[in-house]
Amino acid sequence: MYKIAIAGAGAMGGRIGVSIKDAGYDVTLIDNWEEHVKRINTKGMEIKTENDTFFVNLPAVLTKDISTKFDLIIILTKAMASEEMLQSLHEAGCIHNDTAILSMMNGLGHEERLSQIVPLSQIYLAVTMWTAGLRGPGQLLLEGEGSIYLQRADGAMDAHTNTILQILNDSGLNAQISTNVFEAIWSKATLNSVLNPLCTILNKTIYEFGNDAYSNEIVMAIIEEIVAVAKAKGIHLDNNALLKKVELSYPKDAQGLHYPSMHQDYTNGRLTEIDYLNGQISTYGKEFDVPTPINTMLTHLIHQLESKL
C-alpha cells in the first residue's frame, strides 16, 4: 500500500494529514512535540469546524522513533526545521530511491536546500491556499476552502506527479498541476513578505495595517524589490497584481481581523521564518546584484525583535 508521511504535524500538517486519512490512505504524522503526538495517539486528532467538533484517528510518531519507509513525504515543518527533519528521515531509512518529497512550506528556496539531501528529481513543490489553526496539542481549527498547486521542482512531469495529484484530490484538497509553480510560490511569498514583518513590527492586525492611508506606499516599495529579484531569476511577477493580492487581505471579512503567522510566532516566543521570506529575497538580491535595502532592513528589524526572546 502507498505509504504517506506528513513531516511536521502542526496546523497545516494536521489539516493535510486528516484530509488524506479521511480519503482512506495510509498516512502517518511525524512531529517533535511529544504532548501533541501523545494526545493524537490516545484521543485522536480533535477537529473543530464552523459547525461541528469531532475526532479523527490516525497514527502520530516522534521523529526520533520513526523508521518506516514512505513513498510520499509531505514536508510541513517550519522552514528553519525542514532540513533537519529531512536529514533525520534520510538517516532513519525512511526515504528510498523513489520516495517523493513534497514541500508545502511557506517561503523561498526550499528546493535548493532540500536537494542537498535528496536528488532534485525527487523533490516536488506545492503552494497551498488552505488555512488551519492549532488550538492546542492534538486540536485543530479548520475553516474555509482552499486549493493546492504543485509541480516537480525540476519542471519535469512524471508518474509521481499524477499520483500526488490523485491523492490530494481524493482528499478534497482541490489540487492542480502547475506549469510554473514558482510564480505561485513567489506570489504567496510576496504576500507573506509584506504582511508578516510589517504587522509584527507594528503590532497590528492586517486590517489595522491596511486601513492606514500610506500603507500601500510601503507595500509597493517592498513589492518592487521582490519583482526585480524575481525577474533576475527568470520569474515574471506583476507589481499591480501583487498589490491587489495584498489589498484583498485587508477587509475584516477576508483576513483583516487576523495577525499573520509571524506575529503569532513572535508573540508566542518562537523564532520566525523571516530568513525564508525577506531574508531570502536579500540573499538572492546579493547573488544577482539587485539592490534590496527595504527587504534587508525588514529582515534585520525582525531579528532585532527575535533577540529579545
41-77 confidence digits (pLDDT tens):
999 999 998 889 999 999 999 999 999 999 999 999 9
What value, to the nearest 5°, has the Cα angle with vertex 48 and ends 42 and 49?
A: 150
Q: Kindly list the domain boundaries of the chain, sorted by start residue.
A: 3-179, 183-306
pLDDT of residue 244: 97
Residues designated catalytic: 188
pLDDT of residue 143: 83
pLDDT of residue 133: 87
pLDDT of residue 147: 95
Q: Does domain 3-179 have CATH number 3.40.50.720?
A: yes
pLDDT of residue 158: 93
**pLDDT < 70: residue spans in the chain:** none
Give the CATH number of domain 183-306; options: 3.40.50.300, 1.10.1040.10, 3.10.20.30, 3.90.420.10. 1.10.1040.10
Query: Which value, to the nearest 10 degrees, does the dihedral of the CA atoms of residues 270, 274, 280, 281 take?
Result: 170
Buried residues in 239-271 as b, exposed as e (16+ CB within 10 A): eeebbebbeebbeeeebbebbbbbbbbbeeeee
